[in-house]
Amino acid sequence: MNTKGIKGFIYRITELVMQFAYLQLLWIVFTIVGLGIFGIFPSTAAMFSVARKWVMGAEDAPVFKTFWQTYKTEFVKVNGLGLIFVAMGWLLYVDYHFFTMGDSVGSSLLKIVTIFITYFFITTAIYFFPIFVHFHYRFFDYVKYSFLYSVASPLRTAGIFIISCVIYFLLLKVPSLFLIFSGSIISYIWMWYVYLTITKTQAAKKK
């Protein structure tokens, strides 16, 4: 690689780092603006909206404009759906701890079933935001299709789950990197994986 090529490569890497850091900053700021619980879901949807642009090749898409447009237009809808996910997650958490209190065979089986359901709940949640920013469905259809896409490609879904966990724990080892990049990098990876699943599923349907 010549000097010009090296400089171009370094410039591109620096630009990518700045873009991911900027997207992370927007996510944090607008989560705070929404008072935490009411800001986390629209901020996350907005972050995925930007990641979707990048995944689809629109790398020069205006980050703030794309982020803000999604944040304000989807604020109510995504908060409603997000609170449903929170309620479901809380129920699974309570169920798991309730079943761990017993030592009977029945309790053990119910605990295993709860863990199994929890896995699909997590993978459905992983698919939710990419599905939300990519399609226009009716309110509850977002949850339904997030689940269907997650089970349509079990190996790819398991892969995205494992990779997300690995990246999460690696970034936790360096708190500064976790603060600056965790959300934006994971959102990009999720969006890329889910977009790949969507395109392959739709191609298979056409055949």
Rounded-to-integer distance, Cα 44 and Cα 198, Å:
20
Residue-by-residue DSSP string for 10-63: HHHHHHHHHHHHHHHHHHHHHHHHTTTTTTHHHHHHHHHHHHHHHHTT-TTS-H
| pLDDT score at 188 | 93
Residue burial 114-142, b: 16+ Cβ < 10 Å; e: rest: beeebeebbbbbbbbbbbbbbeeeeeeeb
pTM: 0.87
Q: What is the pLDDT along the chain (207 residues), one digit of tens a residue?
A: 455 667 767 777 888 889 999 999 999 999 999 887 889 999 999 999 999 999 998 888 899 999 999 999 999 999 999 999 999 989 888 877 776 666 666 677 878 888 888 888 988 998 999 999 999 888 889 999 999 988 887 888 888 888 888 888 888 888 888 888 889 999 999 999 889 888 887 777 776
SS3 call for 173 = coil
| pLDDT score at 169 | 85
Tally of CA atoms within 13 A in the half-sphere of 173 that contains its CB: 5
Please name which of 11, 20, 30 lies closest in space to residue 171, comparing C-alpha atoms: 20
| Cα 103–chain centre separation | 36
- Strands (E) located in 49-191: none
Side chain identity at residue 63, one-letter code: V
Residue spans per domain, the chain: 3-206
